[in-house]
């Protein structure tokens, strides 16, 4: 056994993972070159080697949860931590031209893929499982929770920043009689979203959020700020504030992380979400500044692991005979690694999902917390 194998095997023991062990979360190594690859490229190598079938696990999500809980991926040099931070803060990879390209790279992979994976409303953000037993019910519960948190009423006009295929807008129009405008940079989302919302007072715009400047009764953003980038958080909050009427509410639903260092996942950056950045609570509060008062902060992150599991089950069930006609086996392993490793990150409590309710001047008499 060479030195690389000894080092990696020793690291994995800290996460109670055994190479070629017999427990579901143990890993099976198919190619001995894996060890040197992991030491050289760490998180990038972990995902790429899985895509290349160099290793496997019967319970991939639990394997990743254990690695994250043991903090193994941070046993790296200071240089590797500092450089991504400098790039994110100084180079602004989410400028307009790059933002459109990055959004297309993920969300324009094909509507057939997302239709097979998501709930019937095509809601691509964390569901709310408190009183729900199915993905459809959990996503409707989340959409209703958002409507209730902003006090949405019939006839009101709501802006959805990063509207996806329009699941929130359609729900708000159907169940609450609201009018909705949504912006996205994905052409495929706009095309299908218009079909799904046909006949409703819902407008899709292929538009950068930074170009918005018109009044709305309420503003929501469900899983879009992760693509905004640290250099643009203040601008994002400025846009939300200038579009929100003085007595309205702004609900921000976002994945977040507690780490103050910018430690982007190199594998996800390359294969899943180019240009993305998970905000910290400190970054969001600083960006809100004096523009907003925080009325409520709700962490539903534990629900995302179950959501991701449901998405994988749907993806896997539709793979053979349907999705495999358009995507190859390497894509299957890539998408599986994406969904399962993400679920592991939420179970390790490394990542969270925050729903934050903002007002401009404070709700008269105080905001009533809704769960």
H helices present in the chain, as ranges: 3-13, 34-51, 60-69, 78-90, 96-107, 111-117, 135-149, 167-176, 187-196, 233-243, 266-271, 281-288, 302-317, 329-347
* Token code pair at residue 9: 């095997």
Q: How far apart are CA 249 and CA 340, in angstroms?
A: 34
Burial class (CB in 10 A: 0-12, 13-18, 19+), 277: buried
Helix (H) or strand (E) holding 291: none
pLDDT beneath 50, residues of the chain: 76-90, 262-263
Longest dimension (CA), the chain: 70
* Token code pair at residue 186: 């994905």
pLDDT in tens, 149-199: 999 999 999 999 999 999 999 999 999 999 999 999 999 999 999 999 999
- CB hemisphere CA count around 267 (13 angstroms): 20
pLDDT in tens, 111-154: 999 999 999 999 999 999 999 999 999 999 999 999 999 999 99
Beta carbons within 10 angstroms of residue 83's beta carbon:
12
Question: Which residue's entry shows tokens 């209730």?
Answer: 148
Q: What is the pLDDT of residue 298?
A: 98
DSSP per-residue letters across 293-325:
EEEEEEE-THHHHHHHHHHHHHHHHTTTTTGGG
**pTM score of the predicted model:** 0.91
For residue 277, give the nearest of 80, 81, 85, 42 by alpha carbon: 85
């Amino acid at each position: 056994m060479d030195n690389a194998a000894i080092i990696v095997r020793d690291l994995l023991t800290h996460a109670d993972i055994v190479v070629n062990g017999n427990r579901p979360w143990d890993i099976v190594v198919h190619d001995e070159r894996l060890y040197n690859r992991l030491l050289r490229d760490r998180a990038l190598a972990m995902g790429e080697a899985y895509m290349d079938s160099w290793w496997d696990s019967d319970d991939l999500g639990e394997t990743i949860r254990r690695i994250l809980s043991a903090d193994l991926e941070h046993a790296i040099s200071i240089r590797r931590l500092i450089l991504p931070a400098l790039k994110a803060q100084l180079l602004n990879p989410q400028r307009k031209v790059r933002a459109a390209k990055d959004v297309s790279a993920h969300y324009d992979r094909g509507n057939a893929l997302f239709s097979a994976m998501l709930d019937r409303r095509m809601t691509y953000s964390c569901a709310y499982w408190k009183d729900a037993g199915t993905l459809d019910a959990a996503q409707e519960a989340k959409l209703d929770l958002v409507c209730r948190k902003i006090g949405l009423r019939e006839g009101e006009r709501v802006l959805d920043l990063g509207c996806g295929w329009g699941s929130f807008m359609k729900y708000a129009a159907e169940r609450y009689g609201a009018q909705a405008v949504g912006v996205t940079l994905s052409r495929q989302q706009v095309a299908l979203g218009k079909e799904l919302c046909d006949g409703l007072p819902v407008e899709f715009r292929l538009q950068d959020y930074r170009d918005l400047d018109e009044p709305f009764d309420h503003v929501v953003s469900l899983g879009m700020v992760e693509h905004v980038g640290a250099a643009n958080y203040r601008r994002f909050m400025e846009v939300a504030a200038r579009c929100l009427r003085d007595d309205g509410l702004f609900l921000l639903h976002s994945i977040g992380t507690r780490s103050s260092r910018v430690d982007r996942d190199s594998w996800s950056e390359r294969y899943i979400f180019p240009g993305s950045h998970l905000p910290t609570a400190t970054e969001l509060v600083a960006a809100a500044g004096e523009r907003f008062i925080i009325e409520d902060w709700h962490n539903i992150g534990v629900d995302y692991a179950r959501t991701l599991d449901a998405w994988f089950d749907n993806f896997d069930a539709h793979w053979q005979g349907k999705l495999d006609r358009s995507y190859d086996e390497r894509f299957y392993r890539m998408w599986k690694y994406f969904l399962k490793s993400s679920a592991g990150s939420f179970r390790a409590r490394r990542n969270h999902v925050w729903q934050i309710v903002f007002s401009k001047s404070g709700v008269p008499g105080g905001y009533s917390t809704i769960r």
